[in-house]
Amino acid sequence: MEATLKRYVWLYNRQLPQSALGNKTPLQAIKERCRTNPQLFIKHPCCLAGYDKQEAEMQIKEIEAEGLIRSYNVIISKEELSVKLDAKIREVQPDVSLKGFRPGKVPASHIRKMFGQSIMKDIVGDVMNESSQKVINDNRIRPAAQPKIALRVSGEEVTRGEVDLEYRLKVEMIPEFEPVAPDTLKLTRLKSEVKDEDVAERLEMWAREQKVYKKKAKTAKAEEEDAVLINFIGRIDGKQFDGGSVEEHELVLGSGSFIPGFEDQLIGKKAGEKLDVIVTFPDNYDSRALAGKKAVFETEILEVRGARSAEIDDGLAGKLGMESLEELSGTIREQLGSKYEIQSRMKLKRAILDDLDSKHTFDLPPGMVEQEFDAIWQDVQAEKEQGLLDEEDAAKSDEKLEADYRKIAERRVRLGLVLAEIGQKADVQVSSDELQSAVINEARRYPGQETQVIEFYQKNPQAAAQLRAPIYEEKVVDLIIEKADITDKNVSKEKLFEEDLVI
């Protein structure tokens, strides 16, 4: 009986025209009354009857469900939009001030006539955003990218209230999968100890960089990498020019610190020799007065000096800002130890990613793969144009090169989704302080523009998200390292720094 009565009420209100109401159903009549006299209603009739609420709500129809793609056709009635327009007009009415009316007393009908279409444009935008989010939420979709919305009707006709709002919503989903538990992973961490010979090798390198030059015999001829002590006077068209004359200047041959061709003409000369060095200033020389001009330098070689490495002692440490050779050696050991630890973590992270990649197989969102591939391919093409591709890639056809880098894009997307899922299950978070620190570090890369860079990230959440992503990734990797079963293995530094071939 209850069901029968409810059905009758539904039919009476919606389906049975009444002659007393001009052959309209009760609901149609009361809606029309609301549109013509909105001031008489607190709420629109659509919201008053539970059975009529379905009519006011949007109509949703799934039209595509293939792989990770979902498409929906969404319709919101013009009546519902009109209700929202009336509500918005009532909301702004107290603040409206127009010539000929007292402030706040402009009739709703006049506001609708003057500004209705403009207000409706905002309402349509809000409704599309809200309704598309409702579709996503109701269907428990995790979007892989910004959903695509395409109007199916004229936007002008919608804002004029002539037709229902109808649009197509297309969403690319994040796949559903169960990530491997970090505590089930078994990994090997490569490590290398800093040996005495490693420290000695670094000391020798720094000693070579701190070269000292000792006077050679008078009969010794200057060779490349020797230093010569010279006096010279420069002239253009027989006249001396500013900055062209120097006495007792030490010039390292082959250093390229002088005008091209100057140093070459001193090779093979001996102390006591005099010669004219003839050169032409480059066209792009800093001084415009000298650029492109031919000059003659009257040159005297005072000494030829041979290069040798600095002595590895407290004197070398002093040149490098240390108190003693012992302190210098300790600093080198710490620096190398830190370098080895960073490389060890990089190797372990690579092993983690390889293991995760091998343990997960699921469909990938096509748009995410394409976006990742486009970013990679753009860099590859730039390197190709500049002739910077390695020999292996340079020998490949474009088809082979594209196929290889597409696989890399797929791997990156797969691993990104796996790490995100592991992090979500473990409630990994990037704190505001961590993000702020990343923004500050990024700003420091642009001296003098730090404030503008910080403001840019504050105003652009998407840009800030790009800084957040690597922080989040490293925190998830830290989580895996903490949970996984890891065995340390000592290897040589050559093995530790061996280059990985696959990205």
Residue 470 and residue 332 share a domain: yes
Q: Which residues contact 427 (CB under 8 A, 6 or more apart)?
A: none
3-state secondary structure of 102: coil
- Band (349; pLDDT cuts 50, 70, 90): very high
Mean pLDDT of 435-450: 92
Rounded to 5 degrees, what are φ and ψ at 354? Answer: -60, -45
Q: Residue 5 above 50 pLDDT?
A: no
Q: How many domains does the chain have?
A: 4
- Band (108; pLDDT cuts 50, 70, 90): confident
The single-letter DSSP state of residue 473 is H
pLDDT tens-digit profile of 308-326?
A: 888 899 988 998 899 999 9
Q: What is the pLDDT of residue 31?
A: 64
Q: Residue 386 above 50 pLDDT?
A: yes
Q: Which of 68, 79, 92 is nearest to 177 (CA)?
A: 68
Residue 18 · residue 32 · CB < 8 Å: no
Q: Residue 52 above 90 pLDDT?
A: no
The better pLDDT of the pair 54, 167 is held by: 167
Q: Residue 8 above 60 pLDDT?
A: no
Residue 331 and residue 453 share a domain: yes
200 located within any domain: no
pLDDT tens-digit profile of 326-345?
A: 999 999 999 999 999 999 99
Q: What is the pLDDT of residue 17?
A: 55
Q: Which of 419, 394, 482 is nearest to 180 (CA)?
A: 419
E strand or H helix at 89: helix 78-92
30 located within any domain: yes
Residue 43 and residue 85 share a domain: no
The better pLDDT of the pair 266, 111 is held by: 266
Q: What is the pLDDT of residue 32?
A: 66
List the structure tokens of 259: 């005008």
Residue 225 and residue 269 share a domain: yes
pLDDT tens-digit profile of 173-195?
A: 999 999 999 999 999 999 999 99
The β-bridge relationship of strands 485-490 and 186-191 is parallel
Q: Which of 438, 461, 380, 376 is nearest to 413 (CA)?
A: 376
Residue 390 and residue 261 share a domain: no
CATH number at residue 153: 3.30.70.1050
Neighbours of 36 (CB within 10 A): 9
Residue span of the structural domain in which 79 resides: 60-173
Q: What is the pLDDT of residue 98?
A: 86
Q: Residue 7 above 60 pLDDT?
A: no
Residue 484 and residue 419 share a domain: yes
Q: What is the pLDDT of residue 47?
A: 41
206 located within any domain: no
Q: Residue 41 above 70 pLDDT?
A: no
pLDDT tens-digit profile of 144-157?
A: 988 999 999 998 89
190 located within any domain: no
Q: Residue 53 above 50 pLDDT?
A: no
Domain boundary among 306, 336, 369: 306
Residue 451 and residue 427 share a domain: yes
Mean pLDDT of 385-398: 89
389 located within any domain: yes
| 208 CA to centre of own chain | 40
- Band (40; pLDDT cuts 50, 70, 90): low
Cα–Cα distance list, 300 to 233, 244, 271, 294, 442 (Å): 9, 14, 8, 20, 52
3-state secondary structure of 296: strand
Rg of the chain over all Cα atoms, to the nearest angstrom = 39
Domain boundary among 28, 56, 84: 56
Cα atoms found within 13 Å of the Cα of residue 376, Cβ hemisphere only = 20
| 61 CA to centre of own chain | 36
Between CA 216 and CA 213 the distance in angstroms is 9
Cα–Cα distance list, 168 to 42, 129, 132, 267, 383 (Å): 33, 12, 9, 78, 40
Q: Which of 305, 282, 306, 284 is nearest to 295 (CA)?
A: 282
Q: What is the pLDDT of residue 50?
A: 40
Residue 81 and residue 31 share a domain: no
86 located within any domain: yes
pLDDT tens-digit profile of 193-239?
A: 999 999 999 999 998 888 888 999 999 999 998 999 999 999 999 99
235 located within any domain: yes
Domain boundary among 56, 73, 95: 56
List the structure tokens of 206: 């720094």
The shares of helix, strand and coil residues in the chain, as percent rounded to the nearest 5, are: 50, 20, 30
Helices 461-483 + 450-459 axis angle, to 10: 80
Residue 426 and residue 280 share a domain: no
The better pLDDT of the pair 296, 15 is held by: 296
Residue 65 and residue 43 share a domain: no
Q: What are all long-range contacts of 490-495, with beta carbons under 8 Å and residues at least 24 apart?
A: 490/191, 490/192, 490/193, 491/190, 491/191, 491/192, 492/192, 493/192, 493/198, 493/340, 495/190, 495/192
Mean pLDDT of 450-478: 92
- Band (55; pLDDT cuts 50, 70, 90): very low
243 located within any domain: yes
Return the percentage of the chain with pLDDT > 90, whole number. 66
Residue 430 and residue 334 share a domain: yes
Residue 77 and residue 17 share a domain: no
pLDDT tens-digit profile of 79-102?
A: 899 888 888 988 888 888 888 888
Range name among 2-16, 225-239, 375-389 with the lowest pLDDT average: 2-16
Q: What is the pLDDT of residue 74?
A: 95
The β-bridge relationship of strands 227-236 and 239-252 is antiparallel
Q: What is the pLDDT of residue 361?
A: 95
Cα–Cα distance list, 248 to 228, 233, 251, 296 (Å): 9, 12, 9, 18
CATH number at residue 262: 3.10.50.40
Residues paired with residue 229 on neighbouring β-strands, in sequence order: 250, 303
CATH number at residue 353: 1.10.3120.10
Q: What is the pLDDT of residue 197?
A: 95
Q: Residue 243 above 90 pLDDT?
A: no
- Band (23; pLDDT cuts 50, 70, 90): low
Mean pLDDT of 415-435: 95
